[in-house]
Amino acid sequence: MKIFLTTAIDYVNSLPHIGTAYEKIGADVIARFRRLCGDEVLFQMGNDEHSANVQKAAEAAGLPPKKYCDEMRPKFEAIWKKLHISYDRFIQTSDQNKHYPTVYEFFDRVNKAGDIYQKDYEGWYCESCEAFYTEKDLENGLCKNHQKKPAWIKEKNYFFKLKKYEKALLNHIEANPGFILPAKRKNEVASFIKQGLEDFSISRSTFTWGIPVPLDKTHVFYVWFDALINYLSWLGLKSLDDLKDNEYWKNVMHIVGKDITRFHCIIWPAMLMSAGLPLPKTVFGHGFVYLRGEKMSKSLGNVVTPLDILEKYPDFGADALRYYLMRGSSFGDDGDFTWDGFIERYNADLANGIGNLASRILGMVWRYQGGSVSPRPFEESQEDLIFKANEVWEYLKIDLSIDEKDPTDIRPHRALEAIWRFISAIDQYIDRRAPWQLAKDKKVDDLSQILTLLVECVRRLSIFCGIFVPDASKKIWRAYGFDKWKNFSDIRAPDQFDSPLSKMPHKLTELKLNLFPRIQVI
Ligand code: MSP
Protein backbone atom coordinates (compact mmCIF):
# COMPACT_ATOMS: atom_id res chain seq x y z
CA MET A 1 0.00 0.00 0.00
CA LYS A 2 1.22 3.54 -0.78
CA ILE A 3 1.21 5.90 2.20
CA PHE A 4 1.84 9.65 2.22
CA LEU A 5 2.98 10.94 5.59
CA THR A 6 3.46 14.64 6.10
CA THR A 7 4.51 16.72 9.08
CA ALA A 8 3.82 20.40 9.55
CA ILE A 9 6.35 22.55 7.77
CA ASP A 10 8.33 24.64 10.25
CA TYR A 11 8.71 28.39 10.40
CA VAL A 12 12.31 29.24 9.76
CA ASN A 13 12.73 32.24 12.03
CA SER A 14 14.22 29.98 14.70
CA LEU A 15 15.80 26.51 14.76
CA PRO A 16 13.90 23.37 15.90
CA HIS A 17 13.33 22.77 19.61
CA ILE A 18 12.36 19.49 21.26
CA GLY A 19 8.66 20.31 20.69
CA THR A 20 9.01 20.53 16.92
CA ALA A 21 11.34 17.51 17.14
CA TYR A 22 8.63 15.54 18.95
CA GLU A 23 6.42 15.83 15.87
CA LYS A 24 9.15 14.75 13.45
CA ILE A 25 10.21 11.83 15.67
CA GLY A 26 6.59 10.66 16.06
CA ALA A 27 6.10 10.83 12.30
CA ASP A 28 9.38 9.00 11.75
CA VAL A 29 8.29 6.20 14.09
CA ILE A 30 5.11 5.79 12.05
CA ALA A 31 7.09 5.90 8.78
CA ARG A 32 9.60 3.29 9.95
CA PHE A 33 6.86 1.02 11.23
CA ARG A 34 4.91 1.24 7.94
CA ARG A 35 8.05 0.51 5.93
CA LEU A 36 8.66 -2.51 8.11
CA CYS A 37 5.12 -3.64 7.28
CA GLY A 38 6.06 -3.45 3.60
CA ASP A 39 4.20 -0.24 2.71
CA GLU A 40 5.61 2.23 0.23
CA VAL A 41 5.96 5.32 2.37
CA LEU A 42 6.45 8.83 1.06
CA PHE A 43 7.47 10.86 4.08
CA GLN A 44 7.53 14.61 3.50
CA MET A 45 8.70 17.46 5.69
CA GLY A 46 9.95 20.94 5.00
CA ASN A 47 10.07 24.60 5.86
CA ASP A 48 7.35 27.24 5.85
CA GLU A 49 9.19 30.25 4.61
CA HIS A 50 6.85 33.09 3.78
CA SER A 51 5.71 35.36 6.57
CA ALA A 52 6.26 38.72 8.19
CA ASN A 53 8.27 37.02 10.94
CA VAL A 54 10.64 35.39 8.47
CA GLN A 55 10.99 38.68 6.60
CA LYS A 56 11.96 40.34 9.90
CA ALA A 57 14.41 37.57 10.82
CA ALA A 58 16.04 37.91 7.38
CA GLU A 59 16.33 41.68 7.83
CA ALA A 60 17.89 41.17 11.25
CA ALA A 61 20.40 38.77 9.67
CA GLY A 62 21.11 41.33 6.92
CA LEU A 63 20.06 38.91 4.17
CA PRO A 64 17.46 38.92 1.41
CA PRO A 65 14.61 36.62 2.60
CA LYS A 66 15.20 33.94 -0.05
CA LYS A 67 18.88 33.74 0.82
CA TYR A 68 18.03 33.61 4.51
CA CYS A 69 15.62 30.71 3.91
CA ASP A 70 18.10 28.86 1.71
CA GLU A 71 20.69 29.19 4.47
CA MET A 72 18.25 27.94 7.12
CA ARG A 73 17.33 24.81 5.18
CA PRO A 74 20.64 22.95 5.65
CA LYS A 75 20.61 23.91 9.34
CA PHE A 76 17.19 22.29 9.76
CA GLU A 77 18.13 19.27 7.69
CA ALA A 78 21.35 18.75 9.66
CA ILE A 79 19.30 18.51 12.86
CA TRP A 80 16.71 16.16 11.35
CA LYS A 81 19.43 13.91 9.94
CA LYS A 82 21.20 13.77 13.30
CA LEU A 83 17.90 12.70 14.84
CA HIS A 84 17.66 9.96 12.18
CA ILE A 85 14.41 11.31 10.74
CA SER A 86 13.99 9.20 7.63
CA TYR A 87 12.12 11.70 5.44
CA ASP A 88 12.09 11.15 1.71
CA ARG A 89 11.51 14.73 0.72
CA PHE A 90 12.23 18.14 2.17
CA ILE A 91 10.29 21.02 0.70
CA GLN A 92 10.58 24.80 0.75
CA THR A 93 7.61 27.05 0.14
CA SER A 94 9.85 29.66 -1.51
CA ASP A 95 10.48 27.16 -4.34
CA GLN A 96 9.27 28.99 -7.42
CA ASN A 97 9.35 25.96 -9.72
CA LYS A 98 7.23 23.51 -7.78
CA HIS A 99 5.27 25.42 -5.17
CA TYR A 100 4.28 28.73 -6.80
CA PRO A 101 2.59 27.12 -9.84
CA THR A 102 0.59 24.80 -7.55
CA VAL A 103 -0.57 27.71 -5.40
CA TYR A 104 -1.61 29.61 -8.53
CA GLU A 105 -3.50 26.65 -9.95
CA PHE A 106 -5.19 26.05 -6.63
CA PHE A 107 -6.16 29.71 -6.26
CA ASP A 108 -7.52 29.75 -9.78
CA ARG A 109 -9.86 26.83 -9.00
CA VAL A 110 -11.07 28.42 -5.76
CA ASN A 111 -11.58 31.76 -7.48
CA LYS A 112 -13.50 30.13 -10.37
CA ALA A 113 -15.71 28.44 -7.77
CA GLY A 114 -16.74 31.97 -6.73
CA ASP A 115 -15.23 31.65 -3.25
CA ILE A 116 -12.90 34.67 -3.29
CA TYR A 117 -14.03 38.26 -2.64
CA GLN A 118 -12.49 41.52 -1.44
CA LYS A 119 -13.40 43.50 1.66
CA ASP A 120 -12.02 45.91 4.22
CA TYR A 121 -10.96 44.21 7.35
CA GLU A 122 -9.83 45.12 10.79
CA GLY A 123 -9.00 42.89 13.68
CA TRP A 124 -6.44 41.57 16.16
CA TYR A 125 -3.57 39.82 14.45
CA CYS A 126 -0.96 37.68 16.20
CA GLU A 127 2.13 37.60 14.03
CA SER A 128 3.57 34.58 15.83
CA CYS A 129 0.45 32.52 15.06
CA GLU A 130 -0.03 34.25 11.72
CA ALA A 131 -3.73 34.41 12.58
CA PHE A 132 -6.51 36.92 13.14
CA TYR A 133 -8.38 36.69 16.44
CA THR A 134 -11.63 38.05 17.76
CA GLU A 135 -11.92 39.56 21.24
CA LYS A 136 -13.30 36.27 22.59
CA ASP A 137 -10.28 34.29 21.34
CA LEU A 138 -7.94 36.37 23.51
CA GLU A 139 -7.02 35.87 27.16
CA ASN A 140 -6.80 39.18 29.05
CA GLY A 141 -6.29 40.81 25.67
CA LEU A 142 -3.33 38.53 24.88
CA CYS A 143 -2.87 35.73 22.36
CA LYS A 144 -3.37 32.47 24.26
CA ASN A 145 -0.50 30.74 22.48
CA HIS A 146 2.14 33.42 22.82
CA GLN A 147 0.90 35.57 25.72
CA LYS A 148 1.58 38.57 23.50
CA LYS A 149 -0.68 41.49 22.67
CA PRO A 150 -1.75 41.10 19.05
CA ALA A 151 -1.58 44.06 16.67
CA TRP A 152 -4.73 45.85 15.52
CA ILE A 153 -4.64 45.59 11.76
CA LYS A 154 -6.79 47.43 9.26
CA GLU A 155 -6.47 46.52 5.61
CA LYS A 156 -8.23 45.62 2.39
CA ASN A 157 -7.97 41.88 1.96
CA TYR A 158 -9.09 39.05 -0.26
CA PHE A 159 -11.33 36.62 1.56
CA PHE A 160 -12.20 32.97 1.20
CA LYS A 161 -15.82 31.92 1.79
CA LEU A 162 -15.14 29.55 4.65
CA LYS A 163 -18.58 29.91 6.22
CA LYS A 164 -20.15 28.41 3.10
CA TYR A 165 -18.50 25.07 3.98
CA GLU A 166 -19.68 24.75 7.59
CA LYS A 167 -22.26 22.07 6.93
CA ALA A 168 -20.18 20.13 4.44
CA LEU A 169 -17.29 20.06 6.92
CA LEU A 170 -19.45 18.80 9.75
CA ASN A 171 -20.95 16.14 7.50
CA HIS A 172 -17.51 15.00 6.43
CA ILE A 173 -16.24 14.84 10.01
CA GLU A 174 -19.25 12.82 11.13
CA ALA A 175 -19.16 10.45 8.17
CA ASN A 176 -15.40 9.78 8.51
CA PRO A 177 -14.40 8.88 12.07
CA GLY A 178 -10.78 8.47 10.97
CA PHE A 179 -10.55 11.97 9.48
CA ILE A 180 -9.52 13.76 12.68
CA LEU A 181 -7.49 11.84 15.23
CA PRO A 182 -7.30 11.31 18.11
CA ALA A 183 -11.03 11.41 18.84
CA LYS A 184 -10.77 14.28 21.33
CA ARG A 185 -9.45 16.57 18.59
CA LYS A 186 -12.38 15.58 16.43
CA ASN A 187 -14.76 16.72 19.16
CA GLU A 188 -12.88 20.01 19.63
CA VAL A 189 -13.01 20.77 15.91
CA ALA A 190 -16.66 19.80 15.51
CA SER A 191 -17.79 22.00 18.40
CA PHE A 192 -15.69 24.88 17.07
CA ILE A 193 -17.43 24.64 13.69
CA LYS A 194 -20.84 24.44 15.37
CA GLN A 195 -20.19 27.81 17.04
CA GLY A 196 -20.09 29.27 13.52
CA LEU A 197 -17.21 29.95 11.16
CA GLU A 198 -16.11 33.25 9.68
CA ASP A 199 -14.69 33.78 6.21
CA PHE A 200 -10.95 34.19 6.38
CA SER A 201 -8.58 36.50 4.65
CA ILE A 202 -6.14 34.90 2.23
CA SER A 203 -3.97 37.88 1.43
CA ARG A 204 -1.77 40.50 3.10
CA SER A 205 -0.50 43.83 1.87
CA THR A 206 1.52 44.81 4.96
CA PHE A 207 4.60 42.84 3.98
CA THR A 208 6.09 41.62 0.72
CA TRP A 209 7.78 38.26 1.46
CA GLY A 210 5.21 35.91 -0.01
CA ILE A 211 3.64 34.65 -3.22
CA PRO A 212 2.03 37.56 -5.10
CA VAL A 213 -1.76 37.25 -5.52
CA PRO A 214 -2.42 37.06 -9.27
CA LEU A 215 -5.50 39.33 -9.07
CA ASP A 216 -3.62 42.06 -7.28
CA LYS A 217 0.17 42.14 -7.12
CA THR A 218 0.14 44.56 -4.16
CA HIS A 219 -0.92 41.56 -2.05
CA VAL A 220 0.85 38.36 -1.16
CA PHE A 221 -0.94 35.16 -0.14
CA TYR A 222 -1.63 34.76 3.55
CA VAL A 223 0.93 32.29 4.86
CA TRP A 224 -1.61 29.51 5.60
CA PHE A 225 -3.18 29.68 2.14
CA ASP A 226 0.33 29.26 0.78
CA ALA A 227 1.65 26.74 3.35
CA LEU A 228 -1.20 24.21 3.31
CA ILE A 229 -0.84 23.78 -0.43
CA ASN A 230 2.71 22.45 0.12
CA TYR A 231 1.10 19.04 0.60
CA LEU A 232 0.21 18.97 -3.10
CA SER A 233 3.14 20.80 -4.68
CA TRP A 234 5.61 17.92 -4.67
CA LEU A 235 3.30 15.08 -5.70
CA GLY A 236 4.44 15.44 -9.28
CA LEU A 237 0.93 16.09 -10.62
CA LYS A 238 0.62 17.42 -14.16
CA SER A 239 -2.55 19.16 -13.07
CA LEU A 240 -4.51 19.20 -9.82
CA ASP A 241 -7.18 17.20 -11.69
CA ASP A 242 -4.83 14.22 -11.30
CA LEU A 243 -5.00 14.35 -7.52
CA LYS A 244 -8.06 12.10 -7.38
CA ASP A 245 -6.08 9.27 -9.00
CA ASN A 246 -2.94 9.75 -6.95
CA GLU A 247 -2.25 6.60 -4.92
CA TYR A 248 -0.33 8.46 -2.23
CA TRP A 249 -3.08 11.02 -1.73
CA LYS A 250 -5.60 8.22 -1.15
CA ASN A 251 -3.68 7.38 2.01
CA VAL A 252 -2.40 10.66 3.28
CA MET A 253 -1.89 11.35 6.96
CA HIS A 254 -1.05 14.90 7.99
CA ILE A 255 0.72 14.92 11.35
CA VAL A 256 0.46 18.30 13.04
CA GLY A 257 0.46 19.83 16.51
CA LYS A 258 -2.72 20.45 18.43
CA ASP A 259 -2.33 24.25 18.00
CA ILE A 260 -2.71 23.99 14.23
CA THR A 261 -5.20 21.14 14.01
CA ARG A 262 -7.99 23.60 13.21
CA PHE A 263 -6.12 24.98 10.21
CA HIS A 264 -5.82 21.43 8.92
CA CYS A 265 -9.30 20.23 9.79
CA ILE A 266 -11.33 23.31 8.84
CA ILE A 267 -9.50 25.67 6.50
CA TRP A 268 -7.60 23.02 4.52
CA PRO A 269 -10.55 20.69 3.80
CA ALA A 270 -12.75 23.69 2.97
CA MET A 271 -10.11 24.94 0.53
CA LEU A 272 -9.97 21.48 -1.04
CA MET A 273 -13.76 21.25 -1.28
CA SER A 274 -13.85 24.64 -2.97
CA ALA A 275 -11.15 23.56 -5.43
CA GLY A 276 -13.12 20.37 -6.16
CA LEU A 277 -10.35 18.15 -4.81
CA PRO A 278 -10.39 15.04 -2.59
CA LEU A 279 -9.84 15.54 1.14
CA PRO A 280 -6.98 13.99 3.13
CA LYS A 281 -7.75 10.69 4.81
CA THR A 282 -6.43 11.62 8.25
CA VAL A 283 -5.24 14.62 10.18
CA PHE A 284 -3.49 13.55 13.35
CA GLY A 285 -3.22 16.29 15.98
CA HIS A 286 -0.44 15.33 18.40
CA GLY A 287 0.07 16.76 21.86
CA PHE A 288 2.66 19.27 22.99
CA VAL A 289 5.92 18.75 24.81
CA TYR A 290 6.16 21.01 27.83
CA LEU A 291 9.13 21.77 29.96
CA ARG A 292 8.39 21.00 33.59
CA GLY A 293 4.76 21.64 32.70
CA GLU A 294 5.45 25.03 31.13
CA LYS A 295 5.19 26.05 27.53
CA MET A 296 8.62 26.47 25.95
CA SER A 297 9.20 29.94 24.66
CA LYS A 298 12.08 32.22 23.81
CA SER A 299 10.69 34.94 26.07
CA LEU A 300 10.60 32.58 29.06
CA GLY A 301 14.14 31.49 28.15
CA ASN A 302 13.30 27.81 28.70
CA VAL A 303 13.73 26.38 25.23
CA VAL A 304 15.52 23.03 25.02
CA THR A 305 16.73 22.13 21.56
CA PRO A 306 17.86 18.83 20.06
CA LEU A 307 21.29 20.43 19.70
CA ASP A 308 21.52 20.89 23.49
CA ILE A 309 21.16 17.12 23.82
CA LEU A 310 23.24 16.14 20.79
CA GLU A 311 26.13 18.34 21.86
CA LYS A 312 26.10 16.91 25.37
CA TYR A 313 25.76 13.29 24.26
CA PRO A 314 27.05 13.09 20.66
CA ASP A 315 27.27 9.28 20.60
CA PHE A 316 23.82 8.34 21.75
CA GLY A 317 21.88 11.60 22.31
CA ALA A 318 19.67 11.17 19.23
CA ASP A 319 18.41 7.72 20.21
CA ALA A 320 18.09 8.79 23.83
CA LEU A 321 15.93 11.79 22.93
CA ARG A 322 13.80 9.72 20.54
CA TYR A 323 13.28 7.10 23.21
CA TYR A 324 12.49 9.61 25.95
CA LEU A 325 9.94 11.54 23.88
CA MET A 326 8.20 8.44 22.57
CA ARG A 327 8.20 6.62 25.92
CA GLY A 328 6.32 9.34 27.79
CA SER A 329 2.77 9.36 26.47
CA SER A 330 0.31 8.63 23.69
CA PHE A 331 1.15 10.68 20.59
CA GLY A 332 -2.14 12.54 20.95
CA ASP A 333 -1.43 13.53 24.56
CA ASP A 334 0.95 16.10 25.97
CA GLY A 335 4.37 15.10 27.21
CA ASP A 336 6.86 16.72 29.52
CA PHE A 337 10.63 17.12 29.40
CA THR A 338 12.94 17.43 32.38
CA TRP A 339 16.68 16.81 32.37
CA ASP A 340 16.38 14.64 35.48
CA GLY A 341 13.65 12.53 33.92
CA PHE A 342 15.65 12.22 30.71
CA ILE A 343 18.76 10.92 32.51
CA GLU A 344 16.74 8.62 34.75
CA ARG A 345 14.95 7.01 31.80
CA TYR A 346 18.14 6.75 29.85
CA ASN A 347 19.99 4.94 32.63
CA ALA A 348 17.11 2.63 33.49
CA ASP A 349 15.87 1.66 30.04
CA LEU A 350 18.71 2.22 27.60
CA ALA A 351 21.92 1.77 29.61
CA ASN A 352 20.61 -0.95 31.95
CA GLY A 353 17.99 -2.26 29.52
CA ILE A 354 18.74 -2.88 25.88
CA GLY A 355 22.37 -1.67 26.06
CA ASN A 356 23.31 -4.04 28.85
CA LEU A 357 21.37 -6.97 27.39
CA ALA A 358 22.92 -6.70 23.92
CA SER A 359 26.46 -6.55 25.28
CA ARG A 360 25.79 -9.29 27.86
CA ILE A 361 24.62 -11.82 25.25
CA LEU A 362 27.37 -10.87 22.83
CA GLY A 363 29.96 -11.42 25.59
CA MET A 364 28.57 -14.87 26.48
CA VAL A 365 28.58 -16.09 22.89
CA TRP A 366 32.25 -15.12 22.57
CA ARG A 367 33.20 -16.49 25.96
CA TYR A 368 31.51 -19.88 25.65
CA GLN A 369 31.41 -20.54 21.90
CA GLY A 370 34.07 -18.34 20.30
CA GLY A 371 31.43 -16.05 18.76
CA SER A 372 29.53 -18.79 16.90
CA VAL A 373 26.02 -20.15 17.26
CA SER A 374 24.59 -23.34 15.73
CA PRO A 375 21.33 -23.48 13.79
CA ARG A 376 18.18 -24.32 15.78
CA PRO A 377 14.52 -24.38 14.88
CA PHE A 378 12.34 -21.79 16.65
CA GLU A 379 8.80 -22.70 17.45
CA GLU A 380 6.46 -20.89 19.76
CA SER A 381 5.50 -24.04 21.59
CA GLN A 382 9.14 -24.92 22.24
CA GLU A 383 10.31 -21.61 23.50
CA ASP A 384 8.32 -19.16 25.53
CA LEU A 385 10.57 -16.29 24.41
CA ILE A 386 9.65 -16.84 20.76
CA PHE A 387 6.01 -16.68 21.76
CA LYS A 388 6.75 -13.41 23.57
CA ALA A 389 8.61 -11.97 20.56
CA ASN A 390 5.64 -12.73 18.33
CA GLU A 391 3.41 -11.09 20.88
CA VAL A 392 5.49 -7.89 20.76
CA TRP A 393 4.88 -7.70 17.02
CA GLU A 394 1.13 -7.93 17.64
CA TYR A 395 1.37 -5.05 20.13
CA LEU A 396 3.33 -2.94 17.65
CA LYS A 397 0.63 -3.49 15.05
CA ILE A 398 -2.07 -2.40 17.47
CA ASP A 399 -0.26 0.56 18.97
CA LEU A 400 1.47 2.04 15.95
CA SER A 401 -1.31 1.91 13.42
CA ILE A 402 -4.80 3.25 13.04
CA ASP A 403 -7.58 0.74 13.35
CA GLU A 404 -9.93 1.45 10.42
CA LYS A 405 -13.00 0.34 12.38
CA ASP A 406 -12.16 1.99 15.65
CA PRO A 407 -9.65 4.74 14.96
CA THR A 408 -8.24 6.15 18.18
CA ASP A 409 -4.72 7.17 19.08
CA ILE A 410 -1.19 6.16 18.14
CA ARG A 411 0.52 4.87 21.27
CA PRO A 412 4.29 4.68 20.88
CA HIS A 413 4.65 4.48 24.68
CA ARG A 414 2.61 1.27 24.78
CA ALA A 415 4.60 -0.22 21.90
CA LEU A 416 7.78 0.55 23.83
CA GLU A 417 6.36 -0.95 27.01
CA ALA A 418 5.73 -4.18 25.09
CA ILE A 419 9.29 -4.23 23.73
CA TRP A 420 10.73 -3.55 27.18
CA ARG A 421 8.63 -6.31 28.74
CA PHE A 422 10.29 -8.61 26.24
CA ILE A 423 13.72 -7.30 27.32
CA SER A 424 12.89 -8.08 30.96
CA ALA A 425 11.68 -11.54 29.97
CA ILE A 426 15.01 -12.22 28.23
CA ASP A 427 16.95 -10.97 31.26
CA GLN A 428 14.92 -13.24 33.52
CA TYR A 429 15.42 -16.18 31.18
CA ILE A 430 19.20 -15.69 31.31
CA ASP A 431 19.16 -15.56 35.10
CA ARG A 432 16.97 -18.66 35.25
CA ARG A 433 18.97 -20.76 32.80
CA ALA A 434 22.34 -19.46 34.05
CA PRO A 435 24.49 -20.18 30.95
CA TRP A 436 27.66 -19.72 33.07
CA GLN A 437 26.62 -22.74 35.16
CA LEU A 438 25.90 -24.84 32.06
CA ALA A 439 29.38 -23.91 30.78
CA LYS A 440 30.92 -24.92 34.08
CA ASP A 441 29.00 -28.22 34.03
CA LYS A 442 29.99 -28.78 30.38
CA LYS A 443 26.36 -29.11 29.26
CA VAL A 444 27.39 -28.11 25.78
CA ASP A 445 24.17 -28.92 23.98
CA ASP A 446 21.89 -27.07 26.39
CA LEU A 447 24.21 -24.11 26.36
CA SER A 448 24.27 -24.03 22.56
CA GLN A 449 20.48 -24.17 22.41
CA ILE A 450 20.14 -21.29 24.87
CA LEU A 451 22.72 -19.08 23.18
CA THR A 452 21.16 -19.49 19.74
CA LEU A 453 17.79 -18.60 21.20
CA LEU A 454 19.26 -15.52 22.90
CA VAL A 455 20.93 -14.35 19.69
CA GLU A 456 17.60 -14.82 17.94
CA CYS A 457 15.94 -12.66 20.60
CA VAL A 458 18.52 -9.92 20.00
CA ARG A 459 17.85 -10.19 16.27
CA ARG A 460 14.14 -9.65 16.86
CA LEU A 461 14.80 -6.85 19.33
CA SER A 462 16.95 -4.91 16.90
CA ILE A 463 14.14 -5.14 14.33
CA PHE A 464 11.56 -3.83 16.83
CA CYS A 465 13.85 -1.22 18.34
CA GLY A 466 14.88 -0.01 14.89
CA ILE A 467 11.59 1.88 14.79
CA PHE A 468 12.49 3.92 17.85
CA VAL A 469 16.26 3.88 18.38
CA PRO A 470 17.55 3.24 14.86
CA ASP A 471 21.18 4.11 15.45
CA ALA A 472 21.68 1.66 18.34
CA SER A 473 19.64 -1.00 16.54
CA LYS A 474 21.78 -0.73 13.45
CA LYS A 475 24.92 -1.05 15.60
CA ILE A 476 23.54 -4.21 17.25
CA TRP A 477 22.66 -5.60 13.83
CA ARG A 478 26.20 -5.07 12.60
CA ALA A 479 27.94 -6.25 15.78
CA TYR A 480 25.94 -9.49 15.73
CA GLY A 481 26.79 -10.02 12.08
CA PHE A 482 23.18 -10.01 10.85
CA ASP A 483 24.13 -7.70 8.00
CA LYS A 484 25.84 -10.70 6.36
CA TRP A 485 22.29 -11.94 5.91
CA LYS A 486 20.41 -8.70 5.18
CA ASN A 487 20.94 -4.92 5.21
CA PHE A 488 19.28 -3.33 8.20
CA SER A 489 17.29 -0.95 5.99
CA ASP A 490 15.92 -3.82 3.88
CA ILE A 491 14.19 -5.62 6.77
CA ARG A 492 10.47 -6.22 6.25
CA ALA A 493 7.90 -7.75 8.60
CA PRO A 494 8.26 -11.42 7.55
CA ASP A 495 11.99 -11.25 8.31
CA GLN A 496 11.34 -11.20 11.99
CA PHE A 497 9.67 -14.60 11.82
CA ASP A 498 11.92 -16.16 9.24
CA SER A 499 15.18 -16.44 11.14
CA PRO A 500 18.50 -17.19 9.39
CA LEU A 501 19.62 -18.69 12.74
CA SER A 502 17.18 -21.53 12.35
CA LYS A 503 18.91 -22.69 9.16
CA MET A 504 22.64 -22.12 9.21
CA PRO A 505 25.57 -21.57 11.55
CA HIS A 506 26.19 -17.95 12.38
CA LYS A 507 29.20 -15.97 13.58
CA LEU A 508 29.09 -12.66 15.40
CA THR A 509 31.21 -9.82 14.05
CA GLU A 510 32.28 -7.63 16.93
CA LEU A 511 33.79 -8.58 20.26
CA LYS A 512 32.29 -5.76 22.29
CA LEU A 513 29.31 -3.43 22.25
CA ASN A 514 28.94 -0.34 24.41
CA LEU A 515 25.83 1.36 23.09
CA PHE A 516 24.55 3.32 26.02
CA PRO A 517 27.16 4.04 28.70
CA ARG A 518 25.62 5.01 32.03
CA ILE A 519 25.31 8.72 32.66
CA GLN A 520 26.76 9.47 36.09
CA VAL A 521 24.46 11.63 38.17
CA ILE A 522 26.48 13.92 40.40
N1 MSP B 1 4.38 26.71 9.79
C2 MSP B 1 3.30 26.25 10.59
C3 MSP B 1 2.76 24.95 10.07
C4 MSP B 1 2.29 24.96 8.66
S5 MSP B 1 1.78 23.38 8.13
C6 MSP B 1 1.15 23.65 6.60
C7 MSP B 1 3.77 26.09 12.04
N8 MSP B 1 5.10 26.04 12.21
S9 MSP B 1 5.84 25.91 13.65
O10 MSP B 1 7.24 25.94 13.36
O11 MSP B 1 5.34 26.89 14.54
O12 MSP B 1 5.44 24.51 14.23
C13 MSP B 1 5.75 23.32 13.52
C14 MSP B 1 5.07 22.14 14.19
O15 MSP B 1 5.64 21.95 15.49
C16 MSP B 1 3.56 22.37 14.41
O17 MSP B 1 2.85 21.19 14.10
C18 MSP B 1 3.47 22.68 15.88
O19 MSP B 1 2.25 22.29 16.45
C20 MSP B 1 4.60 21.81 16.42
N21 MSP B 1 5.05 22.27 17.72
C22 MSP B 1 5.49 23.52 18.07
N23 MSP B 1 5.76 23.52 19.40
C24 MSP B 1 5.52 22.29 19.92
C25 MSP B 1 5.67 21.69 21.18
N26 MSP B 1 6.10 22.35 22.24
N27 MSP B 1 5.35 20.38 21.28
C28 MSP B 1 4.96 19.63 20.23
N29 MSP B 1 4.81 20.16 19.02
C30 MSP B 1 5.02 21.50 18.86
O31 MSP B 1 2.94 25.96 12.91
Tens of pLDDT, residues 324-375: 999 999 999 999 999 999 999 999 999 999 999 999 999 999 999 999 999 9
Residue 19 Cβ < 6 Å to ligand 1: yes
Q: Which residues contact 240 (CB under 8 A, 6 or more apart)?
A: 102, 105, 106, 109, 232, 275, 277
In 3D, which of 211, 216, 238 has the Cα closest to residue 116? 216
Going by DSSP bridges, is the β-strand pair 200-201/151-160 parallel, antiparallel, or unpaired? antiparallel
Q: What angle do CA 123, 124, 129 make, to 5 degrees?
A: 130
Residue 260 Cβ < 6 Å to ligand 1: yes
Residue 79 Cβ < 6 Å to ligand 1: no
Residue owning the nearest CA to atom 23 of ligand 1? 19
Ligand 1 atom with the shortest distance to the CA of 287: 28
Q: What angle do CA 485, 486, 490 make, to 5 degrees?
A: 170
CB 150 within 8 A of CB 124: yes
CB 2 within 8 A of CB 456: no
Residue owning the nearest CA to atom 15 of ligand 1? 20
Q: What CA–CA distances, in Å, run from 61 to 55, 69, 169, 413, 502?
A: 10, 11, 42, 41, 60
- Strand ordering across the sheet containing 116-126: 131-133, 116-126, 151-160, 200-201
Residue 306 Cβ < 6 Å to ligand 1: no
Residue owning the nearest CA to atom 5 of ligand 1? 8
The residue with greater pLDDT, 376 or 298, is: 376
Residue 47 Cβ < 6 Å to ligand 1: no
**Gap between the Cα atoms of 390 and 386, Å rounded:** 6
CB 369 within 8 A of CB 455: no
Spell out the alpha helix ranges (H) of 370-411. 384-399
**Gap between the Cα atoms of 231 and 40, Å rounded:** 17
**Gap between the Cα atoms of 461 and 43, Å rounded:** 24
Half-sphere exposure of 330 (CA within 13 A, CB side): 15
pLDDT for residue 299: 67
Whole-number average pLDDT of the chain: 94
Reported pTM? 0.95
Ligand 1 center from residue 201 Cα (angstroms) = 21
pLDDT for residue 127: 80
Q: Is 457 exposed, middle or buried (0-12, 13-18, 19+ CB in 10 A)?
A: buried
Name the pLDDT band for 206 (thresholds 50, 70, 90).
confident
Q: What CA–CA distances, in Å, run from 242 to 229, 245, 278, 387, 490?
A: 15, 6, 10, 47, 31
pLDDT for residue 126: 86
* Rounded (to 5) percent helix, strand, coil in the chain: 50, 15, 35
In 3D, which of 165, 236, 220 has the Cα closest to residue 198? 165
Ligand 1 atom with the shortest distance to the CA of 257: 19
Ligand 1 center from residue 121 Cα (angstroms) = 27
What is the average per-residue pLDDT within 118-137? 83
**Gap between the Cα atoms of 81 and 452, Å rounded:** 35
Q: Which residues contact 164 (CB under 8 A, 6 or more apart)?
A: 115
**Long-range contacts from 67-74, C-beta under 8 angstroms, 24+ separation:** 68/12, 69/12, 69/94, 70/94, 72/12, 72/15, 72/47, 73/12, 73/47
pLDDT for residue 476: 98
Ligand 1 center from residue 332 Cα (angstroms) = 14
Ligand 1 atom with the shortest distance to the CA of 11: 10
CB 31 within 8 A of CB 25: no
Ligand 1 center from residue 506 Cα (angstroms) = 47
Ligand 1 center from residue 256 Cα (angstroms) = 7
The terminus-to-terminus CA distance of the chain in angstroms comes to 50
**Gap between the Cα atoms of 460 and 455, Å rounded:** 9
Tens of pLDDT, residues 472-518: 999 999 999 999 999 999 999 888 788 999 999 999 999 999 999 99
**E strand or H helix at 253:** strand 252-257
Residue 45 Cβ < 6 Å to ligand 1: no
Q: Which residues contact 241 (CB under 8 A, 6 or more apart)?
A: none
Tens of pLDDT, residues 406-444: 778 899 999 999 999 999 999 999 999 999 999 999 999
